[in-house]
Structure 1
Amino acid sequence: MGLLDKLFGRDTPSQEIVGKVDKEGPRNPIDQLGVTGRSQRNAAYEDTAHIPRITDYVAEKLSQLLRYSTEMPVLRLTEDDSPAQITDSKLGGAFYVPEGMKAPRNLDTGNPLYLLAQLNFSQLPQLRGFPAQGLLQFFIDGEDTLYGADYDNPQSQRSWRVRYLPNVPVTALHANRVVKPAWHDDTVLPFNDPDTERRLVAQAGKQTITPTDYRFEGRLQSCVSTLNEYDHGFFREHEAEIRDSLAALLMSGGHQVGGYPIFTQSDPHDDRDPLWNKATDLLLQIDSTNDVSFGDSGVANFFISPSDLERLDFSRVLYTWDCY
């Protein structure tokens, strides 16, 4: 396999995976008709009465091929109704500032930044490549309709910030170490309420590549190449319908750490920008819910390179969000 194949996900599912899906995967509805010979089988695939069932079958088969060949660990984060403590994994609210460190501010305007989210890794299931302890805080600008995002320089942390605190206090915090910037009439944040503060609870799982991920197309075509001639031909003939069914099967949003991101517009990695191509690990995704909304039902993503994550260097994180 070439380097580009590894980078952009064009490696073909192994014969073991193909065999597993053939054996345990969805049953071809044409096989249930008792057709024999090529001419009868071709006619059955072309019969409009069978198209919806074959469409679902091919989509399900491709989704299983993609699942077995691309699934990776993910931490799903859900909002919990129980009160959030200052060092809990959470959305919004007040935040802890260690002794000798100042609360983050916009480097151009001097305005205070607001806590979007924080992760207490000692509360989370261990995720390979991520720290086992420490507090990771994500701050955004509350005086900017873009919530601090800089699409020309997504790595610039001038109007947003990611801060890693390796040591999380376990005793009561002094009041001057707890900060919560005040809301003003012109404050613009993705939270629906100034008092939004929701504890985040994590559950470990596996995730299949999402249809909006920049690697999806290469992976999909690799899976299509393993189909038999009838299914392959049907895919080419009814590709749009199968893609719609496949998207419904694979699209999975929500707050998460690791795994594959979702986008409402397009994955910035598609631009083949060297800056983006290094930052392949999803550090945090915040999706729109009843409590938080980026624009019109948008989603925010923070990315980091595997080498920076290993070194716990969060100075080159990339931040982006998009909406409908």
Structure 2
Amino acid sequence: MLRGNGAPAPYGKDVNAFWNRWRKQLAQVSVPSRSAAGQSGLSPMLLDDLRQTLQPVARDCAAISLAGAATSPIQSFLSGHPFLPPGAVWPEGIGGPQLFLGQLNFAEVGALSDFPAAGLLQWFVDADENWGLTVDASAGSAGFTVRWYPDPVADGSPSPDAPTPTDAHDELPMEFVGATALEFAPGISIPSWDELTPAVRADSVWERIALALGESRSEPAFVYEEYLRGSASPLADHRATSKIGGFPSFTQHDPRGTGGYPAVDTGLSELIIELDSMDVGGWGDSGVAHLFGDPMALAAGDTSGVRYHWDCL
């Protein structure tokens, strides 16, 4: 949801947390049944044809899932206290100390083409009603901080459950509090229907899938987005929502190429990380948050090109 001035509406308080939990519980009931229906309606041969059609446009990614309490200051986790080596200070925003969203230790992620094999990325946002996101010419380039540690060493850093200078329970865009560890699994990410090449959109496989699922053959875009992207996909390895790498998903529109976001075809707006409310809760009404940039620039310690975005219904 956007406010009248175009900025995302303020969320994360008690009322919205209740509705996000309700939506998440509803999704856990409805999505598996829809996915099961899709699997029962698609023959192994049709699934093979689908994989072959998608293979030229698919990208590898690392699917993210929550994995209990974090115990090490240099592991991957959300919320809590970040890795902060001796001499490092907490980042400040316009309104004071920024909120710590999370950190990624790429040594835990596994091999991912064009991404660093090691190093720690941290993500902070301003503690305001829009979690730092701006809507003017600075959109994407202000209101947040990313830090890169090429060789983090746990000695001397506070633990993940140490106190922070911000009240995360009231302010974080995610529903949970406390340092929550992340796990990663290999996944496959596919673009939105509009991003597919004309040749892929014209493939007969979409008509055959629509027929098998009892949907209109004249609406391949609906079938593609409803059944094949995200958690409802009959292809288990294509179900990545929260992820590192791959193609982003948006609740409203792709901001790249506008404001402070480089265009998609420049190589400077690749998806670094996506956090989907279906996995981590919060982010407004079924929202999703992103960091974009050049992943390999991170390995060189250059975070200047990283851009931040989030939106919701």
With normalisation by structure 2, the TM-score equals: 0.69
Aligned partner of 2:235 in structure 1 is none
Task: Report Cα offsets for 1:73-113 as digits up to 9, x if no partner.
Answer: 1000100124442221011111122233221110x33x101
- 1:124 Cα deviation after fit: 1.7
**1-structure distance, mates of 2:67, 2:192:** 25
Aligned partner of 2:20 in structure 1 is none
Q: 1:81 to 1:101 in 2, by over 3 A?
A: closer
- 1:72 Cα deviation after fit: 1.1
Amino acid at match of 1:137: Q
**2-structure distance, mates of 1:256, 1:239:** 31
**Residues 283 and 289 in structure 2, CA contact (< 8 A), matched pair in contact too:** yes
- Secondary structure (helix, strand or coil) at the match of 1:315 reads coil
Please, what is the CA RMSD of the aligned residues? 3.3
- 1:323 Cα deviation after fit: 0.5
**1-structure distance, mates of 2:100, 2:107:** 19
Q: 1:121 to 1:224 in 2, by over 3 A?
A: closer
1:73 and 2:60 matched: yes
- Secondary structure (helix, strand or coil) at the match of 1:77 reads strand
**Residues 271 and 293 in structure 2, CA contact (< 8 A), matched pair in contact too:** yes
Tell me which of 291, 301, 306 is aligned to 2:290.
301
Aligned partner of 2:173 in structure 1 is 190
1:101 and 2:88 matched: yes
- Secondary structure (helix, strand or coil) at the match of 1:96 reads coil
Aligned partner of 1:167 in structure 2 is 151
- Secondary structure (helix, strand or coil) at the match of 2:92 reads coil
**Residues 65 and 223 in structure 1, CA contact (< 8 A), matched pair in contact too:** no
**Residues 69 and 179 in structure 2, CA contact (< 8 A), matched pair in contact too:** no
Question: Percent identity, aligned pairs only?
Answer: 25
1:244 and 2:222 matched: yes
Aligned partner of 2:200 in structure 1 is 223
Tell me which of 277, 280, 292 is aligned to 1:288.
277
Tell me which of 126, 129, 133 is aligned to 1:141.
126
Q: 1:311 to 1:151 in 2, by over 3 A?
A: farther
**Residues 303 and 317 in structure 1, CA contact (< 8 A), matched pair in contact too:** yes
**Residues 84 and 157 in structure 2, CA contact (< 8 A), matched pair in contact too:** no
Give the total of aligned pairs: 250
- Secondary structure (helix, strand or coil) at the match of 1:123 reads helix
1:204 and 2:186 matched: yes
- 1:167 Cα deviation after fit: 1.8
Q: 1:239 to 1:319 in 2, by over 3 A?
A: farther
**Residues 56 and 242 in structure 1, CA contact (< 8 A), matched pair in contact too:** no
Q: 1:284 to 1:256 in 2, by over 3 A?
A: same
**Residues 67 and 181 in structure 2, CA contact (< 8 A), matched pair in contact too:** yes
**2-structure distance, mates of 1:123, 1:90:** 11
**2-structure distance, mates of 1:276, 1:75:** 23
Aligned partner of 1:22 in structure 2 is none
Aligned partner of 2:115 in structure 1 is 130
Q: 1:224 to 1:155 in 2, by over 3 A?
A: closer
Q: 1:244 to 1:225 in 2, by over 3 A?
A: closer
- 1:60 Cα deviation after fit: 6.8
Q: What are the ranges of 5 or more consecutive residues in structure 1 without an aligned counterpart?
A: 1-54
- Secondary structure (helix, strand or coil) at the match of 1:282 reads strand
Greater relative contact order, per chain length (Cα 8 Å cut-off, separation 6+): 2
Amino acid at match of 1:189: L
- Secondary structure (helix, strand or coil) at the match of 1:275 reads coil
**2-structure distance, mates of 1:271, 1:62:** 36
Aligned partner of 2:254 in structure 1 is 267
Amino acid at match of 1:156: S
**Residues 69 and 178 in structure 2, CA contact (< 8 A), matched pair in contact too:** no
1:317 and 2:306 matched: yes
Task: Report Cα offsets for 1:192-249 as digits up to 9, x if no partner.
Answer: 24x33210001122222234xx623xx2x22244559x98xx9xxx665322211123
**Residues 118 and 135 in structure 1, CA contact (< 8 A), matched pair in contact too:** yes
